[in-house]
Structure 1
Amino acid sequence: MQFLSRCSGRSSLLALALTLAGCAVSPTDSPADRSYEVAEVGSFHVGGRQVTLAGLPSREIVFTEGAAPRKVDPNGDFETGQMYAQFVRLKNPRARYPLLMWHGGGLAGTTWETKPDGAPGWQQFFLTQGHTVYVTDAVERGRASWSRYPEVYKTEPFFRTKQEGWELFRIGGAGSYDSDPAKRIAYPGTQFPVAAYDQFSKQGIPRWATNDAATQTAYDALVQKVCPCVIVVHSQGGNFAINAALHAPDKIKAIIAVEGSGAPDPDKVDISALKNIPFLFVWGDFIDQNTSWKQYIVAPNKFQKALRAQGGVADRLDLPQHGIKGNSHMLMMDRNSDQVAALVQAWMDKNGLMK
């Protein structure tokens, strides 16, 4: 790998980050220019259970203009609680284990695919580095589908406004969003491709606040099906990944938590089983300017400190401290996302996760 061989002369993550941050990458180093041989592309659903509904009224529905109405009976058996996984298996992977990519709240596996500005995403980047990659849509998201409420899901879904996304994902500060794209004010130096924000907003998916247990169960089933593995996880997914590791510490070989918004409380949960699993915590910019993220970062920081106290590998890649500035919460979609991904790849190399 030419990028790393030229740029990784020192062993510490800090030194590596500083070196990579200053490296000039030639066109031949671009992931888009590298080829890889695919053995199989496919998908499956995992987890879930059958539920039976009864006592609901039937009604007639016209499904296609000009067609006769058809009686629809909503009573009967249904599957709920399943998740969706798409995989690209390489013929000759360089990584020792498949890489599972888990998304955050109100989003789906599209987080890791082509970026909103049309550039290749992290799925493509890590395929070029030699990883077999699994991209998932968690319970209730995307191709996992969802269920009736309140008959199955106990609450109604809620939807993220574009203003909430703009501010919560740290593209701009409080009050900087406007319905008119020309009037939006992004943080100075933001790496997010602001012109693609409306395109990014199309990825938003309704979510429920009452399905965490079902989601965890489905993630645990995925781990049992495809691991041992390495997980790269974003935002809300961080808590699911850590709990999956607690449930199956022999199956998960590393976790890269990209701005995880939660973590188990080590004062209430025994985390000693995780001390042999390397962790990398990745953080972008503008956190100290965002009220929500100043709160969200507390639990992951406490968890990281506790992991270190257990003697485990709990590394931190705080991008601004390494001279890489302007990253949003959606740093895998930022203009410099390949640079950040290269640091993650370097960490995996350093921790023996590649052949």
Structure 2
Amino acid sequence: MSDTSRPRTVARALAAGLLAAGGGLASGAAAAADAGPGPLTVASQGSFFVGGRNVASETLSTLPAYAPSGTITVDQVYVRYQIPVAPVRAPLVLVHGCCLTGKTWETTPDGRMGWDEFFVRRGFPTYVIDQAGRGRSAVNPSPINAVKLGRAGADTLPPVFSAGQEPAWAIFRFGPEYPKVFPGMQFPLEAQGEFWKQMVADWSATLPTPNPTVPALSELAKRLKGAVLVSHSQSGIYPFQTAALDRSGVRAIVAVEPAACPDPAKDDLAPYKGLPILVLFGDYVDQSPRWAPRLALCRAFVAAANAAGGKAELILLPEIGIHGNSHMLMQDKNSLDIAEWLAGWLDKRVPARS
């Protein structure tokens, strides 16, 4: 379902503000804020994988009907794409965070338009991934089966985890603790049951270093001949690691509520010189013992990166008049207003292709 009922006065005001500030928002965007979304027209859509490696194993199965020996492919990253008609804007690669999948960017829990569709409508080719070991990207069951078959000790079991709904409540900043709610919080709690269904087991701690998602992002960005890497939460550091691995193909970085930014006291800042970078945080961050230190680190990174010739910015949404956003700001009730603002930032910072 598309979002046809959100208040359009806010979208019009944001569009006007971006134009007045030189945000580069195309004139059609202001008109689109007034118009209903209408039919979605795409030139193409589909899916593919990037990365991956073959692993030979003797413990692929404990079931008699399936052979335990064989070769499987692991560490690949699933990519789903939608290409608008006659695209001129830079491709966006949307990367989800901990305990989630690419569903993060799709239809919101209460049935509104997700950022993947929004940006396609704005003319951005949009690529949504499932990180290695998550969603439609494979995991390796061999270490678990080896223990079950008695070929390895229980201490070798991989550290797979899931986030419970009650502790996740505070992590996602719906409130300070379950079931309290921050005043004015924008997440659609009436649809929280649908949100919790998005949560999956997280295998990231079982993966090699760097996380295979990072070289896969590099491969994908180069295949696209330049892309904006948009990360969220646990994946927030991945675009920075991708640029450090290979700057080619990375046109810009948008880190939405990153769990970490590069540490200016330890990390080389040279890969970020001249690279447009946006670090974006929602509301209530200063009230969260988990997120306040992460915001402080990102502020330090942005200052150090700019001192070293960078083009980094940190935006705290309440400071630009957008209030009530949770950690899942791409799913909040004002998510499309934020996406409208972000489209304007991208138009100004990442020139359209000729």
> How does the TM-score come out when normalised to structure 2?
0.84
Aligned pair partner of 2:185 in 176, 186, 190: 190
How many Å apart are 1:89 and its aligned residue?
1.4
Residue 163 of structure 1: aligned partner: 166
The separation in 2 between residues aligned to 1:53 and 1:31, in whole angstroms, is 56
Matches within 5 A, 1:65-84: 71-84=65-78
Percent pairwise identity: 34
C-alpha distance 189-79 of structure 1, shift in aligned 2 (>3 A): same
Is 2:135 the partner of 1:142? Answer: yes
Aligned pair partner of 2:52 in 44, 48, 53: 48
How many Å apart are 1:12 and its aligned residue?
6.6
C-alpha distance 141-133 of structure 1, shift in aligned 2 (>3 A): same
Aligned pair partner of 1:314 in 304, 312, 315: 312
- Secondary structure of the 2:190 match is helix
Deviations 1:36-87 (CA, angstroms, capped at 9, x unpaired): 5422111001111111112677543xxxxxxxxxx22222111111110001
How many Å apart are 1:160 and its aligned residue?
0.6
Which letter maps to 1:197?
Answer: Q
Residue 228 of structure 1: aligned partner: 226
The separation in 2 between residues aligned to 1:319 and 1:43, in whole angstroms, is 33
Q: Which deviates more, 221-230 or 329-338?
A: 221-230
The separation in 1 between residues aligned to 2:60 and 2:96, in whole angstroms, is 34
Aligned pair partner of 1:91 in 85, 95, 98: 85
Residue 324 of structure 2: aligned partner: 326
Deviations 1:96-154 (CA, angstroms, capped at 9, x unpaired): x2111111111111010000000001011111111010000010111112221526996
Residue 11 of structure 1: aligned partner: 21
Matches within 5 A, 1:99-178: 99-150=92-143, 155-174=158-177, 176-177=178-179
How many Å apart are 1:352 and its aligned residue?
4.0
Given that 2:84 and 2:121 are in contact with CA atoms closer than 8 Å, whether structure 1 keeps it comes out as no
The separation in 1 between residues aligned to 2:238 and 2:20, in whole angstroms, is 33
How many Å apart are 1:308 and its aligned residue?
1.2
C-alpha distance 144-30 of structure 1, shift in aligned 2 (>3 A): farther
How many Å apart are 1:246 and its aligned residue?
1.6
C-alpha distance 201-276 of structure 1, shift in aligned 2 (>3 A): same
C-alpha distance 74-195 of structure 1, shift in aligned 2 (>3 A): same
Given that 1:150 and 1:156 are in contact with CA atoms closer than 8 Å, whether structure 2 keeps it comes out as no
C-alpha distance 55-342 of structure 1, shift in aligned 2 (>3 A): closer
How many Å apart are 1:275 and its aligned residue?
1.3
Given that 2:95 and 2:128 are in contact with CA atoms closer than 8 Å, whether structure 1 keeps it comes out as yes
> How does the TM-score come out when normalised to structure 1?
0.84
Which letter maps to 2:52?
Answer: G
The separation in 2 between residues aligned to 1:269 and 1:132, in whole angstroms, is 32
Which letter maps to 1:79?
Answer: T
Given that 2:251 and 2:350 are in contact with CA atoms closer than 8 Å, whether structure 1 keeps it comes out as no
Deviations 1:7-45 (CA, angstroms, capped at 9, x unpaired): 3343377xx99xxxxxxx999526751555422111001
Residue 65 of structure 1: aligned partner: none
Given that 1:32 and 1:125 are in contact with CA atoms closer than 8 Å, whether structure 2 keeps it comes out as no
Which letter maps to 2:162?
Answer: F
Given that 1:154 and 1:210 are in contact with CA atoms closer than 8 Å, whether structure 2 keeps it comes out as no
Is 2:205 the partner of 1:202? Answer: no
Which letter maps to 1:191?
Answer: Q
C-alpha distance 261-227 of structure 1, shift in aligned 2 (>3 A): farther
Unaligned runs of 5+ in 2: 1-10, 147-155
Given that 2:274 and 2:310 are in contact with CA atoms closer than 8 Å, whether structure 1 keeps it comes out as yes
How many Å apart are 1:313 and its aligned residue?
1.3
The separation in 2 between residues aligned to 1:81 and 1:232, in whole angstroms, is 20
